[in-house]
Structure 1
């Protein structure tokens, strides 16, 4: 039986490194379809992270490397680059060091991408994981099924947020190569990637929980500049114009380009 591979890419910096064992346990609980394997590409964001000290040795599926401090988007792209060096991986799964992958998440992603060639990426329902162990869901999840190309963009224009969680993404490697990985922003680069994927191909939403998104004081989303101020405005501006440029380039030849939705 031929070997099929999905690469899990995980950036990690100092505050989150102690949570790697829990993340690892959630990956070990994944049951993959016959013929499929996973590799876990951990990218240390800067020096002094020491991810290996928090994980058991001897698992050849885990690969740890480090790069100069550039933030999680750059670290994700560097991990993605390592997956491309072998050329074996078919799908790229996003997974942060401080989160937990819900049972069945990888199998559901592989199933849809394998059976539906027009679907380029998948997302799933996510729950916030609070410090006391309780979880909180989100209102407004779409229905299970195909997310037609452009649908995430239309929602984002009205709400300045996506209705699906970019931390749950799994995508075809070729689409990530077209986009060059994640947008190199201090935050929201994963949203930029999601909107880029939405411009290129249909997506899919799993209504089963695929991720427990841990809430804690050290995460980037807790920074004051994450959701307001000049940095936020600049991030939203470049994400919007990047998406518009992609959409205009993909319009049928001869159709006038426009900045309209």
Structure 2
């Protein structure tokens, strides 16, 4: 299955793009397009993409909107250009494991009712060390609402969601149903994961798929915490079906907000 890999980037993170690009080159899954969307001034990012060779690859699409609106907005503009049935987020400062696209797309092909798939995330430290954290929920099928329930039950001891939201592969239709990435600075992917997992079942793989870079400039460290009261279950929410057209879920008009 074809995969659109979406990366939103601003000048501050331009220097990490060659590593992200190299991780795409190592993918065993050949059917991907990298959609890089520039937030803010494009010059430095374009220079880096040209220097590493990404700008000259026919599988790479580079776009910009000229103003700095935030990474959530940039991702959603890129999502509007996606044509593949599957969408993989890749933060500019992260890397995909070599088998990530093959493993995740294979899981969704094997489970046609699932709306998303995700695997382990390994922390990538400045010295190149990779460290794996144990999964907070068992690998295998994820029922609707299971991630929100698991997260709420772990609070206040564990403030992070049960799986890493930056490494999720989505069915494009499900992303459109939830309105794309949420407009919450620093936790766009977390809020989207909780919303999407309330509508659809998912698959958790017991393999690493994401290398999550640890560094001092990380924006995800600069956000406020969700409280237990902000995490809702899927009760009363109509289920998502992969056959639903964008804007529809469970034969009801989809709503955002």
Q: TM-score scaled by structure 2?
A: 0.83
Question: Between Structure 1 and Structure 2, which shows a larger proportion of helix residues?
Answer: 1
Over residues 97-147 of structure 1, what are the superposed CA-to-partner deviations in whole Å (9 max), with x where a residue is unaligned?
Answer: 111110110001111111211111011100111111112222344332111
| Aligned-partner Cα distance in 2 for 1:66–1:215 | 26
| Aligned-partner Cα distance in 1 for 2:14–2:228 | 30
Q: Equivalent residue of 1:248, what SS?
A: coil
**Which sits farther off after the overlay, 44-53 or 73-82?**
44-53
Q: Equivalent residue of 1:30, what SS?
A: coil
| Aligned-partner Cα distance in 1 for 2:135–2:217 | 27
Among 9, 33, 42, the alignment partner of 1:12 is 9
2:32 counterpart of 1:38: yes
Q: CA deviation at 1:20?
A: 0.8
Q: Equivalent residue of 1:89, what SS?
A: coil
Q: CA deviation at 1:49?
A: 4.8
Aligned partner of 2:230 in structure 1 is 240
| Aligned-partner Cα distance in 2 for 1:239–1:16 | 33
Change (3 A) 1:140 1:116: closer
Aligned partner of 2:248 in structure 1 is none
Alignment of 1:1-261 (within 5 A): 4-32=1-29, 37-55=31-49, 56=53, 57-67=55-65, 68-83=67-82, 88-158=83-153, 159=155, 160-223=159-222, 226=223, 232=224, 236=226, 240=230, 243=232, 247-250=235-238
Q: CA deviation at 1:78?
A: 1.4
Over residues 161-209 of structure 1, what are the superposed CA-to-partner deviations in whole Å (9 max), with x where a residue is unaligned?
Answer: 3110001100101100101101111121211110111111111111111
Q: CA deviation at 1:221?
A: 2.4
1:129 and 1:136 in contact (8 A); partners too: yes
Change (3 A) 1:124 1:63: same
Q: CA deviation at 1:237?
A: 6.2
Q: CA deviation at 1:43?
A: 0.9
Q: Which runs of 4+ in 1 moved over 4 A?
A: none
CA RMSD, Structure 1 to Structure 2 (Å)? 2.1
1:119 and 1:202 in contact (8 A); partners too: yes
Q: Equivalent residue of 1:46, what SS?
A: coil
Runs (5+) with no aligned partner, structure 2 = 240-257
| Aligned-partner Cα distance in 2 for 1:189–1:219 | 14
Q: TM-score scaled by structure 1?
A: 0.82
2:198 and 2:237 in contact (8 A); partners too: no
